[in-house]
Copies of this chain bind each other. A is one copy, B any other.
């Protein structure tokens, strides 16, 4: 029934301290259940069970299963956003090689939680259009920011700054993601260095003679 959008907001705002904790318990339990069972087999009954609650209580706080997933996804996105903001706050290095390193580290940082959860959230689960749009605009903003930085430094050496920025962002995200799924090396720092090598090689080809 595509004409009936599901409610995604909580039906009750916590009044007592106890209920705030309960809500949190549900979210934490959901993360564990999704990690272990995946989205489809991560039933609401199982989540309630894992949280040590009755199914009824769960539905006091979340109107449906997707709302729980949405909460988890939002938290994940916010972590990423905060990581980027914090990095920018600490000041952007002038050198592109260092910028790339910072960028890669931030991406790794964002995936430092449980990669399996990340996989469930972003690949296995149905995402409501609103969230999809949010994700898309977030990535687009990041690409645009980096494109601006590229343009500022390179003037007309670069045929298509936005495309280059897209490559930087996509490569970093995709390979980081894939690293945790595949684990081609046990040592994260080896992966980190190699990814940085890949990106800087690309940039140096496009951005000659950075100082």
Residues of A within 8 A of B (CB): 38, 40, 123-124, 126, 160, 162-164, 166-167, 170-171, 174-175, 177-178, 182, 184-185, 190, 194-195, 197-198, 201-202, 204-206
Contacts and interface: CB of A to CB of B under 8 A. Distances in A.
Given A164-B194, A170-B174, 15 more contacts: A38-B126, A40-B126, A123-B124, A160-B185, A162-B184, A163-B190, A167-B175, A167-B194, A170-B178, A170-B182, A171-B198, A174-B177, A197-B206, A201-B201, A201-B204
28 contacts: A38-B126, A40-B126, A123-B123, A123-B124, A160-B190, A162-B184, A163-B184, A163-B185, A163-B190, A164-B194, A166-B184, A167-B194, A167-B195, A170-B174, A170-B178, A170-B182, A170-B184, A171-B174, A171-B175, A174-B174, A174-B175, A174-B178, A197-B206, A198-B198, A198-B202, A201-B201, A201-B205, A202-B202
A2 to B, nearest CB: 10
A195 B190 CA distance: 23
A167 B198 contact: yes
A124 B202 CA distance: 32
